[in-house]
Homo-oligomer: A and B are copies of this chain.
Amino acid sequence: MANCLVAQSGGPTSAINASLAGVVRGAQNSNEFDKCLGALCGIQGLMEERIKDITDVDVDKLSLTPSMYLGSCRYKLPSAQDAPEEYEKIFDILKKNDVTTFFYIGGNDSMDTVSKLHAYAEANNETIQFIGVPKTIDNDLCVTDHTPGYGSAAKFIATTLLEVCHDTAIYPIKSVTIVEIMGRDAGWLAGAAALARNNYSVVPHLIYLPEVAFNEDEFMEDLKDMIDKHGNVVVAVSEGIKDSDGVYITSTTAAEDKFGHSQLSGTGKTLELIVKERLGIKARSVEINIPQRTAGHSASLTDIEESIQQGEFAVTKAEEGMSGVMITIHRISDIPYTTYLSTTDINDAAGLIKHVPRKWINARGNDVTDEFIQYVKPLIQGEVNLKYKDGLPDYMDISDLL
C-alpha cells in the first residue's frame, strides 16, 4: 500500500484547486498510489493529523473552485536542528498513513518547507519524496516562467480596469481614479492592468510598480499631462510602491483615528488624498482587494488548464522517484503560445523573489512596455465553463473548513 498526500498553503488563488485537481487526477491514473490523501490546513493541519481521503473527489468541479479546498496555514517550519520533534512527528504521521510522496502546493514559503523536509529525509535515510507545486497570484517565484494563479488574477484585474474605463468615461469632466492592485514586492499584477487597453481605450493611463521608486512630483506631472489629454484619468498602482528611500507611500499619510492610533490608509487612498490636495480635482480610489485572488467566476482557462497539468506532471515526477524539486513551466514562444513542463531544484525557488525586469518598465517608470504585455497576454486567454446553481457559481462544498 502506497499513498500520496497533498496539502495547500499560503494565500488563495483561483487556480490552486486546479493544481490540487491535477494531483488527484494524476494519482487516480497512477499505478503507484492507492489513495490520494489531503491534509487540511497545510503542514500545520498535517501535524494535527487532519487528513482526509480525496481520491474520489469531483476533479472537474474542484478545478474551478477558488481558494484552498483543503484550507491553508501560514506556519513557518523551524529548522530540523531547532525542532527535531516536529520533523519526527511529520514523518511518523506520513509513514503511519503509508505516504510515499508529499505534494505541497504553495508559494515560496511553502517551497521552503518542501526544501527542509526533503533535506531531513536525505539526512535520515527516509524514502518519502517531497515535491513542490507552485502557486501564487504574485507571480514572483523564480525559475518558472509564471505561476499558477497569476493568469486568473491578471484576467480579473484587466477586466475590472476595462469596466472601470466604461464607468469613468460617462461624465465629461476631469477626474482621477486610482486602482490599487495587490503586490507588496513585485509589480506583476499591477502591470497586467495594461491588458485592459484596446482599440478604443488607453485605460489605465498610468501604471506604477514597486520595482521603480515612486516620485510624488513626477506623478503630479504625469497626471496633469494625462488630464489635459484625456480628462478622466485612471491610474493602476501596486500596493507596494515605495519612495527613493524605500519607504512605503502609505507610511507618509498615517492619520490618527478616534482611538488615537496611527492608521495607515491603503496606497490607493493615500494617492487619492494627494491628488485632491495638490491638484484640487475630483479623485477616488478603488482597491480591488480579495476578489482579485478568488474571483473564480472570471478565471483564465489557460491558467486553470496549466495548473491541472502541473499537478498531473508532479505525480509523474513522483513516479520517476524525484524529490526536492518544484514543478516549473518554460516558454518556447509567445505567438503561438508554446510551453513545456520541467522541474527545478527546490532551493532555486525557495525564499527567492522574481521582480518585473526593469527593461519591461518604461524609462519614466509610469508604464509597462510591449514586452511585458506580450508576456502576460497568453496567460489570460480563455474562459472557464463554470456551472451555476440558483444564479451563483456552483463551487465545491467546503464544510470541512467552516
Contact = CB atoms under 8 A, between A and B. Distances in A.
Interface string A310-324: 000000000000000
B170 A67 contact: yes
A164 B300 contact: no
A159 to B, nearest CB: 6
Contacts of A346: none
Given A66-B166, A255-B258, A261-B277, 20 more contacts: A12-B167, A12-B170, A44-B172, A67-B170, A71-B170, A71-B172, A72-B171, A155-B391, A160-B295, A166-B294, A166-B395, A198-B389, A200-B399, A253-B257, A253-B258, A255-B255, A255-B257, A263-B273, A381-B390, A382-B391
A255 to B, nearest CB: 4
A235 B83 CA distance: 39
A338 interface: no
Contacts of A334: none
Count class of interface residues, chain A: 35 or more
Given A12-B170, A200-B402, A401-B169, A255 B256 contact: yes
A67 B171 contact: no
A300 B74 contact: no
A230 interface: yes
Interface of A: 12, 41, 44-45, 65-68, 71-74, 155, 158-160, 162-167, 169-172, 195-196, 198-201, 230, 252-259, 261, 263, 265, 273, 277, 286-291, 293-298, 300, 377, 380-383, 388-393, 395, 397-399, 401-402
